[in-house]
């Protein structure tokens, strides 16, 4: 299934940009085309899911995904990470069996909460907490959290609840039932293949190392299908187009050709979120652009080299550096950094100004010109 003439690394890079940063479309079409939009609660100056959609949805505004969520055929759920995906994809991962089973007291408390939500309808965690106070537990990232909130998260993960909406960023849950699935070996393997197809569709082209790593991350969305996913990864060369380029085997979706001259990235400048599909794979990033990008939000400030939430600057096919954004006095402020010398000339400055103006509108800051500090 590999081409007779392999693509060059430059063709793979051009293909990666062009296929992911497609012409802006509607919000439902963009989510369907991506297949998954990773979420993150940090605002710098907007959440990751909004920054990802800002360049792919026409006239998109920060927070629009959350405000329109109930009217869209999408779900908040787990895939390789937590995020948003088309509703029909849930059948590939549910009913989900967690890797760690609840003990009997926890299962009993979950059944009690589920019965309450089934009867009362959509519930904010504070409403559930007011009725069932189970004390405190250790949170996922250390510290203490409400046991009820922790249990609601676990129930959502196991498919007992779904996110009905968000109130000021907090998930409001409702009960849900997922239809039973064919659990035969052939059906399970077919689901594993489809999940890997989704991974490849979102992040292609992928070097074999990255494809395997992303496959292992599906233990988050489909822990009960891990044996089938491992088998599907072993069968990847029989199912997916691939070629060896510069000593690495690369994969891409069937029916696409990385060598096509149609893959022409737009010459505009775009500031990409750390979890954007174009830059998500740090190994691929370094192969394409020759320098290591790092997400340093959790790095001590004194040890940061790029900044708290550095956004790679994609200018045409090149990523010469990064930017950190913040809102100061109602205006967007930008601090840039570069791997080498700052690109010279009016063309780059105009492209950066246009990108910052686009993000100002996206953030609802009006038409006042952003400033670089």
Out of 129, 152, 175, a domain closes at 175
Residue 371 pLDDT? 64
**Residue 51 included in any domain:** no
The CATH number of the domain holding residue 162 is 1.10.10
Confidence label for 270 from pLDDT (cuts 50, 70 and 90): very high
pLDDT of 2 reads: 60
Residue 234 has a pLDDT of 97
Q: What pLDDT score does 28 carry? A: 98
- Mean pLDDT of all residues in 10-17: 97
Query: For residue range 189-200, what is the model confidence (pLDDT) as tens digits?
Result: 999 999 999 999
Is the pLDDT at 144 greater than 70? The verdict is: no
pLDDT recorded at residue 266: 84
In the prediction, which pLDDT does 265 show? 81
Q: Is residue 311 part of a domain?
A: yes
> Which value, in Å, is the radius of gyration of the alpha carbons in the chain?
22
Q: What is the pLDDT of residues 111-138, one digit of tens each?
A: 999 999 999 999 999 999 999 875 555 5
Q: Say what the pLDDT of residue 140 is.
A: 53
Domain that includes residue 366, residue range: 269-372
Which band of pLDDT confidence, cut at 50, 70 and 90, is reported for residue 45? very high
What span, in angstroms and rounded, lies between the C-alpha atoms of 319 and 339? 9
Domain stop point among 129, 148, 175: 175
Residue 51 pLDDT class (50, 70, 90 cuts): very high
Q: How many domains does the structure of the chain reveal?
A: 2
What's the pLDDT at 346? 94
Identify the pLDDT of residue 366.
73
Contact 317, 346 (CB under 8 A): no
Q: What's the whole-number mean pLDDT along residues 102-117?
A: 95
Instruction: Tell whether 197 is covered by a domain.
Output: no
Q: How confident is the model at residue 139 (pLDDT cuts 50, 70, 90)?
A: low
Q: Residue 108 domain-assigned?
A: yes
Q: State both tokens at 210.
A: 């990255």
Q: Is residue 285 part of a domain?
A: yes
Domain-embedded: residue 196: no
Q: Does residue 185 lie in a domain region? A: no
% of residues, the chain, pLDDT over 70: 94
pLDDT 10s digits, 286-305: 999 999 999 999 999 999 99
| 18, pLDDT greater than 60 | yes
The whole-chain average pLDDT of the chain stands at 93
Mean pLDDT for 192-215 is 97
pLDDT average, residue stretch 332-360: 96
Q: Which of 156, 175, 194 is the last residue of a domain?
A: 175
Q: Quick check: is 305 in a domain? A: yes
């Amino acid at each position: 299934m590999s081409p007779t003439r392999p693509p060059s690394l430059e063709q793979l890079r051009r293909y990666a940009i062009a296929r992911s940063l497609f012409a802006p479309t509607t919000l439902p079409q963009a989510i369907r085309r991506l297949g998954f939009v990773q979420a993150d609660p940090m605002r710098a100056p907007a959440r990751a899911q909004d920054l990802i959609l800002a360049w792919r949805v026409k006239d998109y505004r920060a927070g629009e995904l959350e405000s329109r969520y109930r009217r869209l055929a999408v779900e908040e759920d787990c895939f390789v990470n937590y995020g948003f995906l088309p509703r029909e994809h849930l059948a590939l991962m549910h009913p989900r069996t967690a890797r760690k089973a609840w003990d009997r007291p926890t299962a009993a408390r979950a059944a009690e909460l589920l019965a309450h939500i089934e009867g009362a309808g959509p519930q904010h965690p504070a409403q559930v907490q007011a009725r069932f106070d189970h004390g405190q537990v250790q949170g996922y990232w250390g510290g203490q959290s409400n046991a009820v909130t922790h249990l609601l998260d676990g129930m959502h993960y196991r498919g007992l609840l779904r996110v009905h909406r968000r109130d000021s960023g907090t998930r409001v849950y409702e009960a849900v039932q997922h239809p039973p699935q064919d659990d035969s070996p052939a059906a399970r393997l077919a689901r594993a293949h489809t999940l890997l197809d989704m991974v490849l569709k979102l992040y292609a082209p992928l070097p074999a190392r990255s494809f395997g790593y992303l496959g292992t991350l599906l233990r988050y969305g489909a822990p009960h299908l891990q044996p089938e996913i491992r088998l599907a990864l072993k069968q990847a060369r029989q199912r997916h187009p691939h070629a060896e380029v510069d000593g690495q085997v690369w994969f891409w979706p069937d029916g696409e050709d990385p060598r096509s001259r149609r893959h022409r990235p737009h010459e505009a400048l775009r500031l990409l979120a750390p979890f954007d599909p174009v830059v998500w794979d740090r190994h691929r990033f370094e192969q394409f652009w020759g320098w290591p990008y790092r997400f340093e939000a959790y790095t001590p400030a004194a040890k940061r080299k790029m900044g708290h939430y550095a956004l790679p600057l994609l200018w045409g096919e090149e990523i010469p550096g990064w930017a950190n954004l913040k809102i100061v006095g109602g205006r967007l402020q930008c601090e840039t950094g570069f791997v080498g010398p700052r690109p010279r000339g009016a063309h780059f400055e105009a492209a950066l100004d246009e990108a910052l103006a686009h993000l100002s509108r996206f953030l609802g800051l009006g038409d006042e010109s952003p400033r670089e500090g």
